């Protein structure tokens, strides 16, 4: 039998009624002849509640016990989904990560998947089981301890299962009905995309789009897993949602596929750093070791052997970054006169594979922002992306202006 993977996010399984609704969708696919692997998240809000329990109990918690607690939400959902399917006379069984077993590294709370053996679930399919309901977000370490994959890890679980089982498709059910050209809450002209390339989706996910976890898109691109993003809260049709696929599977598209934004950005500047070989390593190595996610980097012109180094990072990592840099200075690894942190900025990006073969996208983007009186603080580019840091108060205006300028409301 062909295999289909269906993943249901927290809002899709938030109540027993929504679990029943999701189970009916699974039943439709079973009736079409699929063996179905269902990946479930914890019920909406449950993981946050469990994280709060851990933090209130032990502020300096043991990461192994953290994983044991926060992974339990998915176990509950998996059992309830299996029971619901059984009530519908569909042979179903729930699986926790260790039962598969989904083998991961030992990096608790941020584990990476190493192997998903297919023997156990395949054997059960052979015995008549039609649906394997697997708890997402979790696995088992080489030491036999429960691990978790980081927030949003159920998306990664689903794609990894689709790759391991050679699934025909991986359907990601969420509270939105697909991938949009930008956030519909900011721009009412935002259009749902029928298809988007893996590379574009990867950039959008990394730049603030919350539809898919970045690691899940990386896995899908590497293993050529066809993804479909659709809503569990609306009526399903065969052509609904957005397909995330290879660039070659898209006939025509706009030069720019979408506008992404991230409001939780900070701009940090090291003032008067010595300009010498190895200084970048001296700055960014301690930041990496402290777990600071550095994004945009700009080095100013050197003057009298000194320079300023500017970078962006998430706002909730500013204190960690300041401590890491001050510790490095105290240890004699570098010198600087000051650290300036601006937490009132946002990142706005345009993304599109069409930018490879079309000139003038950057010029148009900068012209549009200038016309709106928006000053650009930092710029970074890649082959299919241009990102800028701007004052956060102008973020929504910038998104709307760029969406209009590139006519993203129109199909390619």
Annotated binding site for substrate: 47, 74
C-alpha separations of 309 from 45, 62, 275, 301, 346 in Å = 39, 36, 10, 10, 19
Q: Which residues are annotated as a binding site for ATP?
A: 7-10, 174-175, 180, 185, 210-211
Distance between start and end Cα atoms, the chain: 37
d(CA 274, CA 33): 66
Question: Which residue's entry shows tokens 């509950």?
Answer: 76
Question: What is the C-alpha separation between 350 and 82, in angstroms, rounded?
Answer: 42
Distances (CA, A) of 346 to 45, 82, 173, 310, 314: 26, 43, 29, 15, 10
Inter-CA distances, 174 with 40, 195, 354, 378, Å: 11, 17, 28, 33
Q: How far is CA 94 from CA 46, 129, 138, 162, 313, in A?
A: 19, 11, 14, 17, 39
| Feature table: binding site | 7-10, 47, 74, 174-175, 180, 185, 210-211
- Specify the DSSP element, H or E, that contains 144: none
Neighbours of 114 (CB within 10 A): 13
Residue located via tokens 């897993």? 225
Integer Cα distance of 330 and 327 in angstroms: 5
């Amino acid at each position: 039998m062909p295999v289909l993977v269906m993943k249901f996010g927290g809002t899709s399984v938030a109540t027993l009624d929504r679990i029943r609704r999701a189970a009916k969708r699974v039943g439709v696919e079973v009736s079409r002849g699929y063996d179905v692997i269902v990946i479930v998240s914890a019920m909406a809000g449950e993981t946050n509640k469990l994280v709060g329990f851990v933090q209130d109990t032990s502020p300096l918690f043991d990461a192994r016990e953290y994983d044991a607690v926060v992974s339990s939400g998915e176990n509950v959902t998996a059992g309830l989904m299996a029971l619901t399917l059984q009530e519908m006379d569909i042979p179903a069984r729930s699986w926790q990560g260790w039962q598969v077993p989904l083998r991961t590294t030992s990096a608790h709370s941020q584990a990476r998947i190493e192997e998903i053996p297919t023997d156990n679930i395949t054997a059960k399919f052979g015995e008549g089981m039609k649906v394997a309901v697997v708890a997402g977000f979790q696995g088992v370490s080489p030491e036999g301890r429960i691990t978790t994959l980081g927030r949003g890890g159920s998306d990664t679980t689903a794609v990894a299962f689709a790759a391991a089982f050679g699934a025909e498709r991986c359907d990601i059910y969420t509270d939105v009905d697909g991938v949009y050209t930008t956030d519909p809450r900011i721009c009412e002209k935002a259009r749902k995309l029928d298809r988007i390339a893996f590379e574009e989706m990867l950039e959008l996910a990394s730049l603030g789009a919350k539809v898919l976890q970045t690691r899940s898109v990386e896995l899908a691109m590497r293993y050529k897993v066809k993804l479909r993003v659709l809503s569990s809260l609306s009526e399903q049709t065969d052509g609904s949602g957005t397909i995330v696929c290879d660039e070659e599977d898209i006939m025509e598209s706009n030069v720019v596929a979408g506008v992404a934004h991230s409001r939780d950005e900070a701009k940090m500047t090291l003032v008067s750093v010595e300009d010498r070989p190895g200084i970048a390593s001296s700055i960014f190595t301690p930041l990496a070791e402290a777990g600071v996610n550095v994004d945009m980097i700009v080095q100013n012109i050197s003057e009298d052997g000194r320079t300023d180094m500017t970078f962006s990072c998430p706002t909730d990592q500013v204190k960690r970054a300041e401590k890491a840099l001050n510790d490095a200075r105290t240890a004699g690894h570098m010198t600087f006169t000051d650290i300036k942190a601006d937490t009132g900025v946002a990142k706005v990006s345009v993304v599109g594979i069409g930018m490879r073969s079309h000139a003038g996208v950057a010029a148009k983007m900068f012209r549009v922002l200038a016309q709106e009186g928006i000053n650009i603080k930092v710029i970074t580019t890649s082959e299919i992306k241009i990102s800028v840091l701007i004052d956060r108060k102008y973020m929504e205006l910038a998104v709307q202006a760029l969406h209009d300028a590139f006519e993203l409301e129109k199909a390619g």
